[in-house]
Structure 1
Amino acid sequence: MARTILALSPSGAHFSFTASLGQQYRFQLNWLTTYRYFVVTVTDGTGKRLTAGRGLHVGSNIMSGCRGFAGTLKIEGTTPTPSNLGIDNQLVWEH
């Protein structure tokens, strides 16, 4: 199984980025201050929403149950926050 690390950097509480993981995907991350975690929305290259409101928790596959997505997408390391995202943790696509 191949591993690809998606480059992330602290970008504040609300941001989006695109990544090519077999095809193009757009990720939106929003920090929930009350609960202290990010929620993720993922759309494909056509704009079709694949998942929304998934918590970005260490070890949890945010693409679980998404049809047509090959592999897993998990955050590894420490719990992500707006100030440590991509520093103390990394988003890993295993395929």
Structure 2
Amino acid sequence: MTTKTLSLPSSYSYFTFQSSLGSNAYTFSFRWLTRFSYYVVSLYDSSGTPVFQGRGLHPGMDLLSGLQLGLGRLYLVGEPATVANLGMTNVLTWEY
């Protein structure tokens, strides 16, 4: 299995970025939920169609689980993500 690490910025409660998973480009959207103290992630394909929306970002939990997309696994490695530590004490990893 091959892995790719996706860089995440710290200190933002909301941000988007684009990255490719395989041969397809996707837009990632991250939103911090202050009330619950975690990020939710939404993923959109190149045409802006949602692949998934509002999945919680927690260490070891596969964001692609149950979707049967054939994209592999996408999960956070390291400490639970916060606005202060995102991308510093954890990384988003794609296994394919």
- TM tier, shorter chain? over 0.9
**Paired residues of 2:19 and 2:26 also in contact (CA < 8 A):** yes
Structure 2 segments unaligned to the other structure (5+ residues) = none
Quote the Cα distance in structure 1 between the aligned partners of 2:67 and 2:26: 13
SS in 2 for 1:60: coil
Structure 1 segments unaligned to the other structure (5+ residues) = none
Scaled by the length of structure 1, what TM-score is found?
Answer: 0.94
Partner of 1:13: 13
SS in 1 for 2:41: strand
Q: Does residue 36 of the first structure (1) align with residue 52 of the second (2)?
A: no
Aligned residues: 95
Quote the Cα distance in structure 1 between the aligned partners of 2:75 and 2:8: 13
Runs of 4+ in 1 over 2 A off after TM superposition: 65-69
Partner of 2:78: 77
Identity value in percent? 40
SS in 2 for 1:47: coil
Query: CA offset at residue 69 of structure 1?
Result: 4.3
Quote the Cα distance in structure 2 between the aligned partners of 1:93 and 1:85: 16
Q: Does residue 92 of the first structure (1) align with residue 89 of the second (2)?
A: no
**Paired residues of 2:4 and 2:93 also in contact (CA < 8 A):** yes
Scaled by the length of structure 2, what TM-score is found?
Answer: 0.93
Query: CA offset at residue 68 of structure 1?
Result: 2.8
Report the residue type matching 2:9 in the other structure: S
Q: Which deviates the most, 19-28 or 64-73?
A: 64-73
Q: CA RMSD, aligned part only?
A: 1.1
**Paired residues of 1:63 and 1:69 also in contact (CA < 8 A):** no
Q: Does residue 48 of the first structure (1) align with residue 49 of the second (2)?
A: yes
